[in-house]
Amino acid sequence: MENTEPEVNVASDLPENYNELKNSANRTANWKERLDAVEELGNWKSQKSIDILKHRLDTDPVYQVQEAAYEKLKAWGEDVEKPVRSKYEVVKGIQKILLRVKKSLPRDHSYEEFKEKLKKMRIDVYNTYEGDKGAEFDAWLEGMWKSL
């Protein structure tokens, strides 16, 4: 009988750059860096890696990061539940944050100026929504800007 289970190629130690990966996995202003750290830690099965991936699965505001952590943990045979995309805003008070950014600009500013100012003032918010919304990010942000 042929084994149809996906093969999990996992090292049993921690990588030399474990501390860097741990820091990257917790970097709030860069979802891509967190995703890369999750992917890399997923190659090194240890209790420390499992703990970090479970934390990303349970707390990361970006669904892609949660999903990557879930996939790695599941491949290791961990008892985890698939994350559910949140129906609510991933950053509490997003309307107030965006309004504050808009009010800091001249009255006749463009959407591009608003977008750049948000990136400068609140890179954490910008980055989180960029990761969460994916290809729809610009349309979502422009819609929010128009509605403020």
Give percent of the chain with pLDDT exceeding 90: 84
Whether this prediction's pTM lies above 0.75 is answered by: yes
Sign of the CA dihedral with 72 first, then 75, 77, and 79 last: positive
* pLDDT score, position 28: 85
83 closest CA partner among 72, 98, 94, 93? 72
Per the prediction, the chain carries an average pLDDT of 91
* pLDDT score, position 11: 53
In the predicted model, what is the mean pLDDT of residues 131-148? 95
Q: Confidence class of residue 12 from pLDDT cuts 50, 70 and 90?
A: low
* pLDDT score, position 6: 46
Give percent of the chain with pLDDT exceeding 70: 92
Collapsing DSSP to helix, strand or coil, 84 comes out as: coil
Question: 89 or 3: which carries more pLDDT confidence?
Answer: 89
* pLDDT score, position 87: 81
* pLDDT score, position 122: 96
Q: What is the pLDDT of residues 58-116, one digit of tens each?
A: 999 999 999 999 999 999 999 999 999 888 888 999 999 999 999 999 999 999 999 99
56 closest CA partner among 88, 91, 89, 22? 22
Q: What is the CA radius of gyration of the chain?
A: 19
